[in-house]
C-alpha cells in the first residue's frame, strides 16, 4: 500500500492507471476506520484492478458548532488497518490543497439534500457533493462505494452522478453493525459504555417497526408509526430525536402509508453532543 498526500501525485497516478486500461475503485472516507470501512474496501477489491481509499476530514461539510475539531484522527492507525485490506493507495490530501485560498465553488443537489439530515445540517450535502466531486476528478474512478448507513448521502451522490453525466458506477454496501445491532460509525467512539447501550434504541426501533409492518393486516400509516417510534426514543434518558421519517427509498419523500419501497430513517442526538443515524427497509425483500 502506498500513502499519497500530494494532489498532483494522485492525479498523475490515476492517469497512469487509466492509460494502462486498469479499473479504478474509490472508497471515500473521513478516516478512523472501523469494520464498516474495511468491508467497503473488501467489496470493491473484488471488482477493480486498483483500489484508492481517500481519507479526508472535510471541513466544508461541518456546520458551526459541529465536531470538526473533535473528529477522531489517527493516520498511522488507519494506515495499518487499510494495509491489511490489500488496497493500493491511501490518499490523504491536506485541507489547503483541497481548498486553496480563494476557493468558492460548491455543488448542490437541490431537493434530495434539503430534508432529513439536510434540514438540521444546512449546507452539509453541498460540502459532501463538492468534496466527492473533487475526489472523483483526482482519483478518476470507474466505481465508488458508499455505505447505506448514510442513506441520504448515497441518494444525493447517485443523483449528482446522474445529473452531471459522470461515468462512475456508485455501489452501495449494506450497513455493518456491531454484534448487538448498533450501526458502526466513527462517532460511536464518542459514546460512553452506558450511552452505547442506550443507543441501541435506534436498532430496537427498526426491529419494532419491521415486526409491526410484517404483522399488519392493512397498510400502516407512516406518520402514526413514526410518532410511536419517537415516543419510545423520547423515553431514553439523554436522547433527543432529530427526526424519525418513513420515506420513499428513491425520492426520499415522506410516505403516507408504508409500502415495499419505504425506508425508515432516524437521527438522534445523545446528551447534546453526539449525533447518530440509522435506517432500514421495512418490508423484507
Catalytic residues: 37
Q: Are 195 and 238 in contact (CB under 8 A)?
A: yes
Query: What is the distance between the alpha carbons of residues 171 and 40, in angstroms, rounded to a whole number?
Result: 9
Give the side-chain half-sphere CA count within 13 A for 25: 21
Sheet holding 274-281, edge to edge: 239-248, 262-270, 274-281
Q: Which cell is 220 given?
A: 400502516
The angle subtended at Cα 168 by Cα 166 and Cα 174, nearest 5°, is 130
Strands 50-55 and 24-29: parallel
Q: Tell me how far CA of residue 156 lies from CA of 81, 117, 266, in angstroms.
A: 28, 12, 17
Q: What is the four-CA torsion angle of 255, 257, 262, 263, rounded to 10 degrees?
A: 70
Amino acid at each position: 500500500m502506498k500513502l499519497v498526500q500530494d494532489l498532483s501525485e494522485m492525479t498523475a497516478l490515476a492517469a497512469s492507471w487509466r492509460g494502462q486500461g486498469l479499473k479504478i475503485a474509490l472508497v471515500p472516507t473521513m478516516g478512523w476506520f472501523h469494520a464498516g470501512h474495511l468491508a467497503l474496501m473488501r467489496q470493491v477489491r473484488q471488482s477493480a484492478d486498483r483500489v484508492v481509499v481517500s481519507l479526508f476530514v472535510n471541513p466544508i461539510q461541518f456546520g458551526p458548532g459541529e465536531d470538526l475539531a473533535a473528529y477522531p484522527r489517527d493516520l498511522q492507525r488507519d494506515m495499518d488497518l487499510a494495509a491489511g485490506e490489500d488496497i493500493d493507495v491511501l490518499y490523504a490530501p491536506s485541507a489547503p490543497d483541497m481548498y486553496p485560498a480563494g476557493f468558492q465553488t460548491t455543488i448542490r443537489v437541490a431537493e434530495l439534500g434539503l430534508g432529513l439530515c439536510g434540514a438540521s445540517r444546512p449546507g452539509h450535502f453541498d460540502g459532501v457533493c463538492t468534496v466527492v466531486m473533487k475526489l472523483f476528478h483526482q482519483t478518476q474512478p470507474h466505481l465508488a462505494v458508499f455505505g447505506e448507513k448514510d442513506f441520504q448521502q448515497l441518494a444525493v451522490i447517485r443523483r449528482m452522478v446522474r445529473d452531471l453525466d459522470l461515468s462512475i458506477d456508485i455501489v452501495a454496501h449494506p450497513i455493518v453493525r456491531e454484534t448487538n445491532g448498533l450501526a458502526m460509525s466513527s462517532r460511536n467512539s464518542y459514546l460512553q459504555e452506558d450511552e452505547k447501550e442506550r443507543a441501541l434504541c435506534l436498532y430496537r426501533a427498526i426491529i419494532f417497526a419491521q415486526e409491526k409492518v410484517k404483522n399488519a393486516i392493512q397498510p400502516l400509516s407512516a406518520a402514526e408509526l413514526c410518532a410511536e417510534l419517537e415516543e419510545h426514543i423520547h423515553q431514553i434518558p439523554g436522547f433527543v430525536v432529530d427526526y424519525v421519517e418513513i420515506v420513499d427509498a428513491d425520492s426520499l419523500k415522506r410516505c403516507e402509508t408504508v409500502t415495499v419501497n419505504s425506508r425508515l430513517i432516524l437521527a438522534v442526538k445523545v446528551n447534546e453532543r453526539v449525533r447518530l443515524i440509522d435506517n432500514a427497509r421495512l418490508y423484507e425483500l
